[in-house]
Chains A and B, each alone.
Chain A
């Protein structure tokens, strides 16, 4: 069965960096575009970034552009999110999600999330 397991979250000071990972299993990882979606405490879902199946295309939400970098290693079935220059407003649960292959732009599987707290 499809499994997405995030890791790497924690407490970090403003301005510092953190790298999140998402280990995928149960499907052919290299065939799917992958996303990061976040949820601030008590708030709704916010899309963060997407990477194409072959990592040739990457797109970001305006709120993280220039600070966050999405990457993947298809040989390790792992998705990454490098977060630099962190701000208090980046505090959230970060989910990795798989995009369905129909080309209909929706997320068909979600991980359980990893929590990031940015605080001094």
Chain B
């Protein structure tokens, strides 16, 4: 079973700045199998990105994903206060697994 390690654990940025969130897999995974989910406080998770770089329906183009093999990145440009959330990467290799999450705080 793969392990997904996200960094940083917490990120504190100002509105308008760019956020870069990292997800590293313990072994190579197909980019088709890498997704990102957003969870705002008190809410259920929501799919942001699938296939490493494809935005889910209704997701603003400020959100973008990239990467391959073991290293994947979620980039949020032009941060807005509503982007405060925990972001999880998720993948599959014999089982479904999540990273531990990155908490994004907007100052």
Cβ contact within 8 Å between B44 and A61: no
Cβ contact within 8 Å between B33 and A47: no
Total cross-chain contacts (CB, 8 A): 62
Cβ contact within 8 Å between B91 and A105: yes
The B-contacting residues of A in range 98-120, CB under 8 angstroms, are 100, 102, 104-113
**SS class of chain A's interface: helix, strand, loop or mixed?**
strand
What's the Cα separation between A104 and B47 when bound, in Å? 13
Q: Mark B31-62, 1 if CB is under 8 A from A, else 0.
A: 01101010100011111001100001000000
20 contacts between A and B (CB under 8 A): A44-B86, A44-B88, A45-B101, A47-B97, A50-B96, A61-B95, A100-B50, A102-B32, A104-B32, A104-B50, A105-B33, A106-B47, A106-B50, A106-B92, A107-B35, A107-B90, A109-B47, A110-B44, A110-B45, A113-B44
